[in-house]
Amino acid sequence: MTTALIIGASGMVGSRLVRELDADGGGINVRLASRRRETVQEWRSAGRDAVVLDLDRPATFAEALAGVDRVFLLTGYTAAMLYQSKTLVDAAQDAGVNHFVHLGVFTSGRDLVPHYTWHELIETYIEASGMAWTHIQPNVITDSVLITEPSIAQTKTFSLPWQNAARGWVSAGDIAAVAAAVLREGPDVHAGKSYGLSTEVLTGTQVAEILSDALGTTITCTAEDLEGLEAHVQTLTDAGVRLYMESAVQTMQQSINGNMASTAIVHDDVLTVLGRPGTTMARWADQNLWTRHLKARP
């Protein structure tokens, strides 16, 4: 049986990916990876194939990769992604992995944004490894911005650091569904493919209008204090995280300045992979804001 190693299995996208693969009813053995030993033990107690894999500790790679055919890699928000990914790709190649699936970022390939470039360099290294590869490249992940505590349904507002610039959006559920299809169907179908996930382009004002319609109440979008965010980033003690977040702030500023138009486009490879269109903001709101925050419609 084919074994797929899921790195980032407890995160927002990774946990959804695991549920998608579980729902398939067989055909692929899903191996869950976490750097936290207690998480791995919980998974094992539930009967799951689970391993400790710490991207900052290459010594944990060989055991985690033993017998693995396919790898899904999702790195954290840190400049250390370069070292982490390079050493993992080398270990996967040594372990005989035949399909490497990487979650990157939606980019034109010429954006002057450091962490976009890091993802591009990682993808180039994967392509040179000799393993079959597939790149999944999402634009702004709806859930990461609009799933908040307290919820938008409670606060009636949300903020965007790129102010009212138009951005492309895609749901975490769609990213997971595409990744699951790639891992299930494998390199015979998906080798050498880059899938851009940008379902629709919306400004903050347009998102607020859609959420207002979905919730039946007025939702407002405000501009986050970018200078305050930048000042906060400078207080971060982890150098890798600080460098990544400095790059993220740069992306937001370039969006405000109108320099990210090349990524503010619709490119719906959800349709390419799954045969259905990507989830619109309106449908996402109906599926998530009621069920997650309000539990049921009045």
143 assigned to some structural domain: no
- Give the CATH number, domain containing residue 71: 3.40.50.720
Q: Evaluate if pTM is beyond 0.85.
A: yes
53 assigned to some structural domain: yes
What is the extent of the structural domain holding 53?
Answer: 2-138+171-196+265-278
Per residue of the chain (298 residues), give pLDDT as tens: 999 999 999 999 999 999 999 997 668 999 999 999 999 999 999 999 999 999 999 999 999 999 999 999 999 999 999 999 999 999 999 999 999 999 999 999 999 999 999 999 999 999 999 999 999 999 999 999 999 888 898 899 999 999 999 999 999 999 999 999 999 999 999 999 999 999 999 999 999 999 999 999 999 999 988 888 899 999 999 999 999 999 999 999 999 999 999 889 999 999 999 999 999 999 999 988 864 444 434 4
Q: Give Cα 236 distance to the centre of its chain.
A: 22
Q: Cβ neighbours of residue 216 under 8 Å, at least 6 residues apart?
A: none
Contact 145, 158 (CB under 8 A): yes
Q: How many domains does the chain contain in total? A: 1
257 assigned to some structural domain: no
165 assigned to some structural domain: no
289 assigned to some structural domain: no
133 assigned to some structural domain: yes
Nearest to 175 by CA among 15, 7, 30, 2: 15
Q: Is the four-CA dihedral 220, 168, 125, 13 of positive or negative sign?
A: positive
Q: Cβ neighbours of residue 29 under 8 Å, at least 6 residues apart?
A: 1, 2, 3, 4, 49
6 assigned to some structural domain: yes
